[in-house]
Amino acid sequence: MNRDSATKALFDSFALALNKRDKSRCIQLVREALEDESISIPELYEGVLSRSLQEIATNEKEQKLAIWEEHVQSGIVRSVIEISYPYIMNLIAKDQSLPRPTAVVCCQEEEYHELGARMVTDFLTLLGFDAFFIGANTPAEEALAAVVTLKPRLVCISVTNFFHLTKLQRLINGMRAHMARGDVPNFKIVAGGYAVKNTPGVTEQLTPDYFAYSYRDLAKIGEATV
Q: How far apart are CA 174 and CA 170, in angstroms?
A: 6
How many other CB atoms are there within 10 angstroms of residue 74's CB atom? 18
pLDDT tens sequence across 50-99: 999 988 766 554 557 788 999 999 999 999 999 999 999 998 876 666 78
* 217 and 188 within one domain: yes
Count of CB atoms situated within 10 Å of the CB of 111: 23
Same domain, 89 and 109: no
73 and 134 together in one domain:
no
Residue 164 has pLDDT above 70, yes or no: yes
Do 213 and 122 lie in one domain? The reply is yes
Domain boundary pick from 65, 94, 123 = 94
Bridge partner list, 211: 191
Structural domain count, the chain? 2
Query: What is the pLDDT at residue 195?
Result: 92
**157 with 114: CB under 8 angstroms?**
no
In sign, the C-alpha dihedral spanning 157, 3, 73, 25 is negative
For 46, list phi and psi in degrees, rounded to 5: -85, -40
Note whether 49 and 121 are same-domain residues.
no
Tell whether 112 and 144 lie within a shared domain: yes
Specify the pLDDT at position 99: 81
Q: How confident is the model at residue 183 (pLDDT cuts 50, 70, 90)?
A: confident
Same domain, yes or no: 112 and 153: yes
Mean pLDDT of the chain: 92
Model confidence pLDDT, tens digit, residues 17-46: 999 999 999 999 999 999 999 999 999 999
- The CATH number assigned to the domain holding 69 equals 1.10.1240
CA 205 to CA 216: how far, in whole Å?
A: 24
Shared domain check, 56 and 119: no
CATH of the domain at 157: 3.40.50.280
- The pLDDT of 119-144, averaged and rounded, is 95
Residues 180, 114 within the same domain: yes
Share of the chain above pLDDT 70, in %: 94
* Same-domain status, 59 and 130: no
Residues 104, 116 contacting (CB under 8 angstroms): no
- Residues 105 and 69 placed together within one structural domain of the fold: no
**Residue 125 and residue 65 in one domain:** no
pLDDT at position 96 is 66
Which of 62, 94, 126 lies at the terminal end of a domain, its last residue? Answer: 94
Which of helix, strand or coil describes residue 150? helix
List strand residue ranges (DSSP E) for 8-126, in order: 102-107
Coil/strand/helix, residue 132:
strand
Output the pTM of the full model.
Answer: 0.93
SS (H, E, C) 94-110: HHCCCCCCEEEEEEECC
Which residues form the domain of 166? Answer: 99-225
